[in-house]
Amino acid sequence: MTEEKKRYHFIDQFRGWAVLFMVETHVVNAFLLPGLRDSLAYKALDFFNGLIAPAFVFIAGFSFAIVAERKWDDFLRPGRVFRKQFLRCLQILLVGYLLHVPRFSLRHLHHTLQWGEKNIFWGVDVLHAIAVSLLLLLLFIPLWRRRERYFFFLAMAAAAVSLLTPLLLSLPIEKTLPWAFSGYLKRLPYSQFPLFPWMGYAFLGAAVSRLWQESRRAGSEARFFRLLFAAGASFIAVFLILTLQPFTRIVLGSFNPARPIFFFLKLGIVVMLLSLLWLWEQKRGNRPAAVTAVGQESLPAYAFHIAVIYGGFSGPFGHSLAYLVGPTRSWAEALAMAVGLILITVALALAWHWLKKNRPVVAKWVFWVGTGLLILYMIFRK
């Protein structure tokens, strides 16, 4: 297999596991009884689930850097290859906005949506953060032009993004900018994934990917992942030293990465997990293959489970299952629902992956027919 076509299974595995655990995260958050959320079990699970989004954004940047290395000269000018990559980023952004439509009706959206007012449609979710981060990664290439300057800038910019986040949170940005844009700069209602700090994970993912690719070319890939694992462990060690020191009390709270100390803690765990998955691939190959397929179809898999839980298809007024069912389920019920939705998501991802690989023409027809039906549904629904 040529370098151009080669896939790295540990990357697909990383992305696949992130999607599947994201399904569990959203099911538990949507349906678990509030009274059960004070338990130690929930807090432990909540900390683990808080690693999923950083992992998802990080691996998006990591994967982009692989494409950038292969197509660097093409990305230096706005030609066909550059436009194609640009449109892929816009596609992710479009899916992000579609998943935030409160009711799948263009008429309803037209009458309720105001440019400068708070609305769930303007909410910035993980797909918005990934799409805009990838757009910036792409646009920075013709700006910096030289690889060394580009990737050094990304590493420095990521650190600056993390350090600037608390300042942006303290500023009343939403009173100056329209609501459609302010959610990209700070965390607001409906906007849980502003670019500050989330694009920092994408930038660092790209920078780490560059170092990994250099190590591959030098034949020192195993050494690189040992050092990466050690770097992640050092972030955790620094976090423990800072939290255990007796001079300044650090409130742990929800481990929100908007605070730099938690940003780098989660980054450390993410790169350690990536290193372990690389080692797993070296020892076991592409296993489990189903998770790899989910990773390769991460966008439709992500969109499907979000549409099931939060999509405005249910009830006479287009409510979501999260609204209709609500946080009313026990641990056993919520986890059973999570497992069920995970299995359905895997099955659909495998089916779509098989169709794209073995019947690409049919897959294109299915995509465009499905897109057309959705547009018609939105046009004619009241």
**In this predicted structure, what is the pLDDT of residue 315?**
58
Asked whether the beta carbons of 258 and 166 are under 8 A apart, the reply is yes
Residue 217 confidence (pLDDT) above 60? yes
User: Is residue 38 included in any domain, yes or no?
Assistant: yes
Give the pTM: 0.95
Asked whether the beta carbons of 15 and 81 are under 8 A apart, the reply is no
User: Is residue 278 included in any domain, yes or no?
Assistant: no
Within 13 Å and on the Cβ side, how many CA atoms surround 77? 4
What are the helix (H) ranges across the chain?
Answer: 9-31, 40-49, 52-70, 72-75, 80-98, 106-112, 126-144, 147-170, 179-182, 195-218, 221-244, 260-284, 289-296, 298-310, 321-325, 331-358, 360-380
User: Is residue 118 included in any domain, yes or no?
Assistant: yes
Tokens of 359: 């019947």
User: Is residue 54 included in any domain, yes or no?
Assistant: yes
Around Cβ 230, how many Cβ atoms within 10 Å?
12
Confidence of residue 2 (pLDDT cuts 50, 70, 90): very low
Q: Distance (Å, rounded) from C-alpha 75 to C-alpha 89? A: 14
User: Is residue 99 included in any domain, yes or no?
Assistant: yes
User: Is residue 241 included in any domain, yes or no?
Assistant: no
Q: Distance (Å, rounded) from C-alpha 65 to C-alpha 222? A: 19
Residue 5 confidence (pLDDT) above 60? no
Q: What angle do CA 72, 75, 81 make, to 5 degrees?
A: 110
Confidence of residue 319 (pLDDT cuts 50, 70, 90): confident
User: Is residue 324 included in any domain, yes or no?
Assistant: yes
Count the domains in the chain: 1
**In this predicted structure, what is the pLDDT of residue 54?**
97
**In this predicted structure, what is the pLDDT of residue 311?**
82
**Token pair 């940003």: residue:** 263
Tokens of 172: 């009343």
Kindly state the average pLDDT of the residues 312-337. Answer: 84
Q: Which residues, in sequence order, are bridge partners of residue 191?
A: 188
Q: Distance (Å, rounded) from C-alpha 373 to C-alpha 351? A: 20
Q: Which residues, in sequence order, are bridge partners of residue 314?
A: 319
Confidence of residue 223 (pLDDT cuts 50, 70, 90): very high
227 Cβ contact partners less than 8 Å away, ≥ 6 residues apart: none
10 Å CB burial of residue 366 (0-12, 13-18, 19+) is middle
**Token pair 């979710």: residue:** 125
**In this predicted structure, what is the pLDDT of residue 316?**
56
**In this predicted structure, what is the pLDDT of residue 103?**
78
Angle between helix 298-310 and 331-358 (nearest 10): 140
Q: Distance (Å, rounded) from C-alpha 304 to C-alpha 159? A: 33
Q: Distance (Å, rounded) from C-alpha 140 to C-alpha 173? A: 25
Torsion angle, alpha carbons of 312, 313, 316, 322, to 10: -60
Query: Which range of residues forms the domain containing residue 306?
Result: 9-220+285-380
User: Is residue 299 included in any domain, yes or no?
Assistant: yes
Kindly state the average pLDDT of the residues 236-242. Answer: 94
Question: What is the share, in percent, of the chain residues with pLDDT greater than 70?
Answer: 97
Residue 351 confidence (pLDDT) above 60? yes
Q: Give one DSSP letter per residue of 70-130, joined into a string.
A: HTHHHHTTTSHHHHHHHHHHHHHHHHHHHTT-SSS-HHHHHHH--TTS--GGG---HHHHH
Question: Which 3 state secondary structure label does DSSP give 142?
Answer: helix
pLDDT in tens, 151-193: 999 999 999 999 999 999 999 999 999 988 999 999 999 999 9
Q: How many residues does the chain have?
A: 382
Highest mean pLDDT among 110-114, 128-132, 285-289: 128-132
**In this predicted structure, what is the pLDDT of residue 3?**
47
Confidence of residue 72 (pLDDT cuts 50, 70, 90): very high
